[in-house]
Amino acid sequence: MTGTRKSLDELIKEELERLRQIRDNVGNLRSKAREQDRKLDTRRKIIIGAAIMSYANDDREFRELLRKVARIKIVRPHDQAVVRDFLFGDASEAGAPDRPENPSATFPARPDPS
């Protein structure tokens, strides 16, 4: 009967392997949680940004305040390039910018991914 029992060294080795696997699993779960948090944060920024931009189109004072804040806070040149038309738009403009009657006439259809 003693021949089938595992030695203490073998038991320790097995437990250490289980511990390593558990630590790996915890690390993977933490990584997934961080990824989910980043995606949620990005989604919030998009939704809030869209709401703010919509309100800025309707309210001239708010639009000018938002421009002032953006000029101060958006400092990276490649970020400024993306919002240049907003940052330096005509201060006398009123309401939403002109939009074409048929938006698809301005924007080409997305290519078929297949």
Tens of pLDDT, residues 11-39:
999 999 999 999 999 999 999 999 999 99
- SS3 for 70-113, per residue? HHHHCCCHHHHHHCHHHHCCCCCCCCCCCCCCCHHHHCCCCCCC
Lowest mean pLDDT: which of 18-22, 76-80, 102-106?
102-106
For residue 90, what pLDDT is reported?
58
Structure-block tokens of residue 9: 């060294």
Total structural domains in the chain?
2
The DSSP secondary-structure symbol of 6 reads P
Residue 97 resides in a domain: no
The pLDDT assigned to 8 comes to 94
Average pLDDT over residues 48-70: 94
Specify whether 13 is located in the same domain as 53: yes
Percent of the chain topping pLDDT 90: 67
Are 47 and 70 contained in the same domain? no
**Do 64 and 51 fall within a single domain?**
no
Identify the domain containing residue 78 by its residue range.
60-90
